[in-house]
Amino acid sequence: MIRAFQHNDAEALLDIYNHYVLHSVATFDDAPLEIAVFSEKLNHIAEVYPILVFEENNNILGYAYGSQFRPKPAYKNTVETTVYLKHGEHGKQIGTKLYTELLSLLKAKNFHIALGVLTLPNDASVKLHEKLNFKQVAHFNEVGYKFGQWLDVGVFQLKLV
């Protein structure tokens, strides 16, 4: 079931996120976030953008949200999208379901462009974005450094309206 984020979901979402911090290059955070910082971030995002969770049998298996792309006023109709799944829950179409619902909500809020910003290589995330008709519009070489390696970033764009 997909539903709106509730404030008491923050700890479950943080557990999902911190797995990626510690074990992957999907995020460039390099130390686990604390619940107070993460909760504040989610509450700030929820003031303007949708945050969705995928829940099954009272267990949160993933989440997705939109957030501010850049702080300048001219970017106000552009949204950056994020989706994370609980470790071990990939390949079940949860990401597709979350992302599809998120994009629908973003369209309803009249956002013009959705951007997915991905660490590359990341075949699963690239396939998800391409499946939802995002097009890669940028590739930045070696802009991040984590786990002793330089990492690329790709930007994928979808016109919403």
| pLDDT single digits (tens) 93-123 | 999 999 999 999 999 999 999 999 999 999 9
How high is the pLDDT of residue 161?
84
Distance of CA 12 to the CA centre of its chain: 15
Overall number of domains in the chain: 1
Whole-structure pTM value: 0.95
Mean pLDDT of 85-98: 94
How high is the pLDDT of residue 91?
87
Beta bridge partners, 138, equal: 155
Beta bridge partners, 4, equal: 52
How high is the pLDDT of residue 90?
86
Query: Which two three-digit tokens encode residue 150?
Result: 């330089």
% of the chain surpassing 90 pLDDT: 98
% of the chain surpassing 70 pLDDT: 100
Instruction: Tell me the C-alpha distance between 25 and 21, whole Å.
Output: 7
Instruction: Tell me the C-alpha distance between 16 and 63, whole Å.
Output: 9
Domain range for residue 18?
Answer: 2-159
CATH number of the CATH domain containing 104: 3.40.630.30
**Band (53; pLDDT cuts 50, 70, 90):** very high
How high is the pLDDT of residue 14?
98
Contacts of 124 (CB under 8 A, 6+ apart): 90
Instruction: Tell me the C-alpha distance between 144 and 161, whole Å.
Output: 32
